Amino acid sequence: MTEITEVPSPFCGIGTDDLTIHVEGLSVKVSENGCAVNTPAFEQDITDTSARVNGKEVSLELAVAKAADLLRASNQPVIGGCATDVNGMRGVMAVADKAGAVVDNVNFPAARRNFLALQDTGWMTTTLAEIKNRCDFLLVVGVDLEGFSPRFFERYLWNKESMFLDDTSQRDVVYLGKVPSGEASTSPTGGKAKVIPCADADLPEVMAVLRALVKGRKIVAESVCSVAINDLQGIAEQLKAAKYGVVTWAAGALGFDHAELTVQMLCEMVKDINTMDTRCSGFPLGGKEGDQTANQVCGWTSAYPARARFSSGFPEYDPFLYDSNVMLANGEADVLVWVQAFNTTSVPPVTELPTIVVARSGMTFAKEPDVFIPVGTPGIDHAGHTYRLDNVIAIHLKKLRDSGLPSTAEVLNAIEHAL
């Protein structure tokens, strides 16, 4: 048995890198600092070790050749999922460029809400270490933060020491919208988060009123949706009184039409506060299953986020037109490639089209894909890089065991060479 310490996780998005892991042969056990997200993701067994074509086990070379054949015959392939490490995503980009494919990250429907706001007006944001050391007021909008990230509070809010706060347990936390699922947001000294619940669909209106109150506009009504104006006024005052307020949201949790307008309202409110003689920052939650990684790598190789098309011979970006699910539904694609190195439950969309799956060992299918190539998981079976939710921090993932599974990059580079 080997014990490996200071193991970084690609699964939780918040870049925990203090896991202790026991490795025995192919078995992986998280022995310290696990959580509901990371432990099962690390401990999942390897089941498939061999590639398959039409359900029959074949050599990797044969599966690669078959995948290349399907892509060569395709007029418009789409590469969905795109959930892998930096080198894997480099492989996705190389295949897409050569095959004229669409690249579409699995979390783009959520990320689009942020990109539309970013590309229209921009934002002011911060990172985890700033929160850990500076944040004196956290406003959580429309997300169950501990459900998203079980160790967020323990690591970044209730840390014992901080450089600029005398007592971290005195930080104020307010939830607006979704109610927390547990007690993680309760401070070590028992201080409870204030919760101002409302339905997700009411957030556009509630956020608009909150921004108006921050700007000192007079609101005559006594409530908006189910929320008392007094409660929102309290939040507005706390935001302005805080030395370093942080407003966090998860685009993936804002499941209503035109949520980008709510993201924009929130981000513009943060900008407003920075003109009121104090500091405040936004903090978008994400970073799971390589979504930041996909956007970063697609960003530097194509200049666009990870919903881009290469069939014209150059990259084109459209956050709506190149939605792989829409393209599949409308008959605009003729081959599906699904890349998912992290999560076996994130299966390809059901389609009658020829399908190539490059995915974590153990994925099961309602309909056997034409080609299935099981790959290693970055940070378990091979080294690699993944981005944390705060986007500027790439973490170097470790290889924990010798499974013999190829990496996403090895498989995709082989397909690219065969094209």
Partner 1 sequence: MLIKLTGGTVYDPASGIDGQVQNLYVRDGRFVKQPAADVKIDKEYDLTGKVVMSGAIDMHTHIGGGKGNIARMLIPEDHRKDPVYRSDITRSGCGHAMPSTFTTGYRYAEMGYTAGFEPAILPVNARQAHMEMADIPILDKGGYVMLGSDDYLLRMLTAKKDQKAINDYVAWTMNAAKAIGVKVVNPGGINAFKFNQRKLELDEQNAHYGVSPREILQVLATAVKEIGVKHPLHVHGCNLGVPGNVGTTLDTIQGIGGLPMHLTHIQFHSYGTEGDFKFSSGGAQIAEAINKNKNITADVGQILFGQTITASGDNMRQHANHGFANPNKWVCMDIECDAGCGVVPFKYRDQNFVNALQWAIGLEIFLLVDDPWRVFLTTDHPNGAPFTTYPHLIRLLMDKSFRNDMLATIHPEAQKMTTLASIDREYSLQEIAILTRAGAAKLIGLDDRGSLGEGAWADITVYTENADREKMFEKPDYVFKDGELVVVDGKVVQTKWGTTHIVRPEWDISVEQDLQKYFERFMTMKVGNFKISDDEMTEDGRGSLTTHSLNGTV
Which residues of this protein are in contact with partner 1, per CB under 8 A?
6, 8, 15, 17-18, 86-87, 90, 94, 97-98, 115, 118-130, 132-134, 155-156, 161-164, 243-244, 274, 277-279, 281, 295-296, 299-305, 310, 312-317, 383, 385, 387, 390-396
Q: Quick one: 204 or 315, whose CB is closer to partner 1?
A: 315
Which structure tokens are listed for 382?
């091979």
Q: How far apart are CA 409 and CA 84, in angstroms?
A: 9
Complex with partner 1: residue 370 or 410, whichever CB lies closer: 410
CB atoms within 10 A of CB 72: 13
CB of 159 to partner 1, least distance (A): 8
Shortest gap between Cβ of 304 and partner 1 (angstroms)? 6
Token readout for 144 is: 């169950």
134 vs 401 by CB, closer to partner 1: 134
For 171, the token pair is 């930080």
Backbone angles phi, psi at 118, to 5 degrees: -60, -45
CB of 320 to partner 1, least distance (A): 13
Residue with tokens 């500076």: 134
Minimum distance of partner 1 from residue 2's CB (angstroms): 17
Locus of tokens 């009658």: 352
* Cβ-based nearer residue to partner 1, 73 or 300: 300
Quick one: which of 294, 305, 279 has its CA closest to 387? 294
For residue 124, how many C-alpha atoms fall within 13 Å in the half-sphere facing its CB? 15
Q: Is the dihedral of CA 290, 293, 297, 303 positive or negative?
A: positive
- Shortest distance in whole angstroms from residue 161 CB to partner 1: 5
CA 290 to the chain's CA centroid: 6
Q: Which is nearer to partner 1, 281 or 361 (CB)?
A: 281
Buried b (16+ CB within 10 A) or exposed e, 166-201: eebeebbbbbbbbebeeebbbbeeeeebbbbebebe
Instruction: Please give the structure tokens belonging to residue 211.
Output: 């921004």
Nearer to partner 1, 118 or 357 (CB): 118
- Using CA atoms, how far apart are residues 139 and 159, in angstroms rounded to an integer? 18
Query: What angle separates helix 229-241 from helix 203-214, to the nearest 10 degrees?
Result: 50
- Nearest approach, Cβ of residue 354 and partner 1 (Å): 24
Contacts (Cβ under 8 Å, ≥6 apart) of 118: none
Which residue reads 């005052």 in tokens?
Answer: 237
For partner 1, the closer of residues 46 and 99 by Cβ is 99
Nearer to partner 1, 2 or 119 (CB): 119
Q: Which is nearer to partner 1, 49 or 274 (CB)?
A: 274
Closest CA to 48 of 62, 37, 38, 58: 58
CB of 412 to partner 1, least distance (A): 13
CB of 411 to partner 1, least distance (A): 15
CB of 264 to partner 1, least distance (A): 10
